[in-house]
Structures are given as structure tokens and as C-alpha cells.
Amino acid sequence: MVLNNQVVGVLCCLKVAFSLSMTARLVLALGAEAKLDIVPGALEFALPFSTLEDACKVDKKLRALERKNFGKGSLIRVAVVGCGYSGVELAATVSERLQDRGIVQAINVETTICPTAPTGNREAALKVLSSRKVQLLLGYFVRCIQRVSDVEASAEASADATGIREGKDIAECNSEKYVLELQPAERGLESQILEADLVLWTVGSKALLPELEPCDKPHELPLNARGQAETDETLQVKGHPRIFALGDSSALRDPTGRLLPATAQVAFQQADFAGWNLWAAINQRPLLPFRFQNLGEMMTLGRNDAAISPSFIEGLTLEGAIGHAARKIAYLIRLPTDEHRFKVGLSWFAKSAIDSVATVQSTITKVLSGS
């Protein structure tokens, strides 16, 4: 980005930042990555769900399991670790896809799903999960994940049972099974062992701020436990007036002292302030304090199901197909340009047309085969 002929770099390496001229500014907007090294076995045996690549791997693995189980009558068992927004959305979507061909079990250390969500969204999500027979294991901490060989898997698993393999290899191997040891986080619950064909990990994230080399330690940024840079309300990193951080890279508290959530809504709103404040800093003008406007929350709960609780109408939650349509409209409105809106709208339209044709075809096939 170039502002008033002064280059404002969005750079990947902090070391470069400190060799920049005095007029240069650095913006940290590197996002976050899934954090799997929280419990033994998660890194090796669970698939994260954070990037497009992760989603493609999950799809590939599910397809492999669907092929393997086709016509056999055995159920595909999927364990989703974490019942925050991602975990709940994933459990709802996977259970909709598998229907009666699989069982989805979702585990959360808290005794509720999406603890910070508006009540309406949480209830809508619970309704959908229950209608799709998702088993919720609430109040449990996943202590470890291990790979097991069973009768079906032994032939393939024994060939590469030595050593730990990277998560990316898991998607290619469709006959491994895993066990999850669940430790109660609440009184009155008993330890449990779950078996799964696929373990999806949605717990924890870590900001992607690069590590400094030892010689750069004096320039160390103030980071919180999630690796986010602590900023003041103008989005300047504390103690580093030439560095700004926003989105998942930044840790900013609202006036009540609560950390702003790592969401696109926050990142999107901060971007305008960061742009303005860069200009202001370079031109020795006063910087604006960022104030988050909570517009509400949206959840995707399957192909044609969503929940929306707008913050400006107290107590209102749109669910099901209406929620789904409202969510799509909200996304279209928030896209940056008309060109984006047109392209995205067109792709949604094409996809729903293809889905409708497929539904009609399968209905006709069922009717004909039944007659």
C-alpha cells in the first residue's frame, strides 16, 4: 500500500521492519493458524479446520470413508473436538452430509456449546444438532488421541505403523481408526473412550506473528498467550508507535476490558481505522480510537440452514431457510465491491441450480425405482 508516496509495508518478517526508514510503518495482519499441539496425538492424528486446504482434506477424507463404507452398513464415526462456532458449524454440516451413514460426536470442555454466542443462535444450533443426531459430549477434556489398528485396518495400517506421521498424510489413508481419551472436566462425569474414523480439531488458534531472532529481542513485541500483539485503541502495538496490528494478529480490549473476538467482523472494521491511522501517523494528525460495533452473529448450520442474531433487534433470531437467505444477503452486502457481489452471487445461483437439478433427478430415480 502506498500512502502519500511513503511505502507502508505489510511485511512477513519483523526484522525488516526495524531496518525501515523513520517514515515507514508496518502493519501486522497475518491472521492465525490452528493450534494442534495442545494434547498428545492431536498434531499427528487430527485434522484442523482452518484454511481452504484443511477443508479440502476433510472432504477428501470423508469421500474416502464414504467409498470404503459404501454398501457395507458400517457407520462412519466422526469426532469433532471443540464446540465453539467452527466445531458446531462443522458438526452440523458433516452430520447433514453423512445422514444415517455416520455418527458425529462433538466434544467440548465447557458444559454448553458456543458459550459466548447469543442465546437464540445457541438454541437454533442445539436444535439442528439434535435433529441430525449429533452426540454432544459436554464437560469433557480430550486428554489424548491415539491410532489403533482394527480388523479392517490392520492390513494397511501395519505397513506404516512405525513412527508418527504428519496430519496431511491422514487424509490419504482411509482405513485408520483413532481413539480419544476423554477426561471429565465436571464433577459427576466419568472418563470415556471414543473411537473415530476421523478426528476434526477446532480448538485453539495461534496468531501467525513471526518469531524474532535472539539479536532482535530488544524489539520484541508485547504478545499475549495466543501470540497476538497487544495494541492500544488506535491499533498501534504497545511500545511500538510505528507498528500497527489488526484482526487475528492483534489483542485489543474493549472499554469494559474484554478482549475483542478474533472474527472477520472485528478485522473488517479495524481495517478502516488502521488505514486512517496510518495516514494520520505519517501526516502528524491525531489518531482515531477504534470502537467495535457488534452487528450480531451468524452461524452456518448446513447447506440450507443458518442462524442469525442481529445485535440491533434485541432477542431476534432468524433460523432455518430464512436464516440461510438472510446470511447470504448479509455476506453479499459486506463484500468489498459490486464485482465481488456479482461473482459470488452468480456462483451461489449456479450452485443452487445444480443442487435443485440433482434433487429432482434423485427424486425421479427414487420414484421410478419404487414403482
Q: Where does this chain bind ligand FAD (CB under 6 A)?
A: 12, 29-31, 49-50, 86, 208, 247-249, 262-265, 267
To the nearest whole angstrom, how small is the minimum distance from the Cβ of residue 298 to ligand FAD? 6
**Looking at beta carbons only, is 11 or 185 nearer to ligand FAD?**
11
To the nearest whole angstrom, how small is the minimum distance from the Cβ of residue 175 to ligand FAD? 27
To the nearest whole angstrom, how small is the minimum distance from the Cβ of residue 83 to ligand FAD? 14
**Could you give the CA distance from residue 332 to residue 327 in angstroms, rounded to a whole number?**
9
According to DSSP, the β-strands at 140-148 and 32-34 are: unpaired
To the nearest whole angstrom, how small is the minimum distance from the Cβ of residue 224 to ligand FAD? 15
To the nearest whole angstrom, how small is the minimum distance from the Cβ of residue 334 to ligand FAD? 10
Q: Label residue 47 exposed, middle or buried (CB < 10 Å: 0-12, 13-18, 19+).
A: buried
**Looking at beta carbons only, is 192 or 265 nearer to ligand FAD?**
265
**All residues at 6 or more sequence positions from 42 whose CB lies less than 8 Å from its CB, including other chains:** 36, 81, 142, 145, 199, 201
**Could you give the CA distance from residue 265 to residue 254 in angstroms, rounded to a whole number?**
14
**Could you give the CA distance from residue 100 to residue 114 in angstroms, rounded to a whole number?**
25
**All residues at 6 or more sequence positions from 56 whose CB lies less than 8 Å from its CB, including other chains:** none
**Looking at beta carbons only, is 147 or 327 nearer to ligand FAD?**
327
Q: Label residue 127 exposed, middle or buried (CB < 10 Å: 0-12, 13-18, 19+).
A: middle
Chain-centre distance for alpha carbon 52: 10
**Looking at beta carbons only, is 31 or 184 nearer to ligand FAD?**
31
**Looking at beta carbons only, is 30 or 134 nearer to ligand FAD?**
30
**Could you give the CA distance from residue 125 to residue 306 in angstroms, rounded to a whole number?**
8
Grid coordinates standing for 21? 526508514
To the nearest whole angstrom, how small is the minimum distance from the Cβ of residue 27 to ligand FAD? 10
Count of C-beta atoms within a 10 Å radius of residue 184: 15
**Looking at beta carbons only, is 93 or 174 nearer to ligand FAD?**
93
244 sits in which H/E element: strand 240-245
To the nearest whole angstrom, how small is the minimum distance from the Cβ of residue 366 to ligand FAD? 34
Q: Give the torsion through C-alpha atoms of 66, 71, 73, 75, to 10 deg.
A: 0
**Looking at beta carbons only, is 9 or 239 nearer to ligand FAD?**
9
To the nearest whole angstrom, how small is the minimum distance from the Cβ of residue 247 to ligand FAD? 2
DSSP string of 114-176, one letter each residue: STTS-HHHHHHHHHHHHHTTPEEEETEEEEEEEEE--TTTHHHHHHT-SS---HHHHTT--S-
Q: Map residue 33 onto helix, strand or coil.
A: strand
**Looking at beta carbons only, is 68 or 219 nearer to ligand FAD?**
219
**Looking at beta carbons only, is 29 or 325 nearer to ligand FAD?**
29
Q: Give the torsion through C-alpha atoms of 322, 325, 327, 331, to 10 deg.
A: -160
**Looking at beta carbons only, is 105 or 250 nearer to ligand FAD?**
250
According to DSSP, the β-strands at 25-28 and 240-245 are: parallel
To the nearest whole angstrom, how small is the minimum distance from the Cβ of residue 31 to ligand FAD? 2
To the nearest whole angstrom, how small is the minimum distance from the Cβ of residue 159 to ligand FAD? 33
